[in-house]
Amino acid sequence: MIDQLSAADFETLPEHRLSMVHGDKRIDFEVAGVRALPARSQRPAPPFALLLRDKGARTALAQGTFRYEHPVHGALDLFTVPVGPDGQGMCYEIIFN
């Protein structure tokens, strides 16, 4: 199912928010950006990068696979990489390739 997700599935999220379940807490990320990537795979939907921001956070989670709760697609286990702070919070990137 992950290979069917498109950039629009994240650009149109209510309030541009995506929640992660991390241990016993929930982190609400702001969708800070979605950008198209060159199509170099057999993925049915065009590849894209998703940039998430944990607004106000000063420390990063380690890279790894985390469970996100998408309001339409339900639970998604996505590999997430911290890219650092941007002045508003800690940012993370997820590549759909």
Per-residue pLDDT of the chain (97 residues; tens, 9 = 90+): 788 899 999 999 888 999 999 889 999 999 999 999 998 778 888 999 999 999 999 899 999 999 999 999 999 999 999 999 999 999 999 999 9
pLDDT at 49: 97
pLDDT at 15: 86
> What domain count does the chain have?
1
Burial of 8 (0-12, 13-18, 19+ CB in 10 A): exposed
- The domain in which residue 11 lies consists of 2-96
